[in-house]
Chain A
Amino acid sequence: MEVSIELMIRALWETLYMVSISLFFGGVLGIFLGILLVVTRKGHILENKVIFSIVNPIVNIFRSIPFIILLVAIIPLTRLIVGTSIGTTAAIVPLVLHVGPYFSRLVENSLLEVDDGIIEAAQAMGAGPFQIIFRFLFPEALASLILSVTTATIGLIGATAMAGAIGGGGLGDVAITYGYQRFSTITIFITVVILVALVQVIQSLGNIFERRIRRV
Chain B
Amino acid sequence: MIEFRNVSKVFKTGDKQIDALKDIDITVEKGDIFGVIGFSGAGKSTLIRTVNLLEKPSSGEVLIEGKNYTTIPEKKLREAKRNIGMIFQHFNLLNSKTVYDNVAMPLILAKMKKSDIHTRVKEILQFVGLSDKADNYPNELSGGQKQRVGIARALAPNPSILLCDEATSALDPQTTKSILELLKRVNQEYKITILIITHEMEVIKQVCNRVAVMEDGQLIESGSVFDIFAHPRTVTTRNFVRSVVRDEVPESVINLINLDRESSRIYKVEFFGTDSGQPVVSKTAKRFNVEINVLFGNITELQGIPFGNLIIQVIGAHREVEDAIQYIIEQNVEVKEVEADGSQHRVNDQSFVGNIVHG
Q: Is B327 an interface residue (CB 8 A)?
A: no
Query: Which residue from chain B places its CB closest to the CB of A142 in the assembled complex?
Result: B96
* Interface stretch of the complex, out of B101-109, B124-132, B233-241: B101-109
A84 to B79, CA, bound (A): 53
Q: Please report which residues of chain A, range 126-151, place their CB below 8 angstroms from some CB of chain B when the two chains form the complex.
A: 126-128, 131, 135-136, 139-140, 142-143
User: Judging by beta carbons under 8 Å apart, are B137 and A120 in contact?
Assistant: no
**A57 at interface (Cβ–Cβ under 8 A)?**
no
| B108:A135 contact, CB within 8 angstroms | yes
B109 contacts A131, C-beta separation under 8 Å: yes
Q: A139: which of B82, B84, B97, B110 is its contact (CB, 8 Å)?
A: B97
Give CA–CA (A50, B332) in the complex, Å.
69
Q: Nearest Cβ in chain B — how far from A182, in angstroms?
A: 52
A121 in contact (CB, < 8 A) = yes
Question: Quick one: which of B14-51 are within 8 Å of A by CB?
Answer: none
Closest CB of chain A to B113's CB: distance in Å? Answer: 18
Q: B82 contacts A136, CB within 8 Å?
A: no
Flag B81-113 by CB within 8 Å of A: 1 or 0 each. 110111010111111110000000110111000
B55 to chain A, nearest CB (A): 11
Q: Report whether B96 and A126 are in contact in the complex, using a CB–CB cutoff of 8 Å.
A: no
Complex contact A125–B82 (CB within 8 A): yes
Assess whether A123 is interfacial by the CB under 8 Å rule. yes
Nearest-Cβ distance from residue A68 to partner chain B, whole angstroms: 39
Q: For residue B96, which residues in chain A have a CB less than 8 angstroms away from its CB?
A: 139-140, 142-143, 213
Q: Which residue of A lies closest to B139 (CB)?
A: A215
Q: Are A117 and B94 in contact (CB under 8 A)?
A: no
Q: CB of B78 within 8 A of chain A?
A: yes
User: For B95, what are the chain A residues with a Cβ–Cβ distance below 8 Å?
Assistant: 140
Whether A139 and B90, one on each chain, are in contact in the complex, defined by CB atoms closer than 8 angstroms, is no
- Decide yes or no whether B264 CB sits under 8 A from chain A: no
Instruction: Give min CB distance, A89 to chain B, whole Å.
Output: 37
A2 to chain B, nearest CB (A): 51
Q: Is residue B309 contacting chain A, with contact meaning CB distance below 8 A?
A: no
A-B contact pairs, 6 of them (CB 8 A): A117-B88, A124-B54, A124-B163, A125-B86, A135-B109, A213-B96
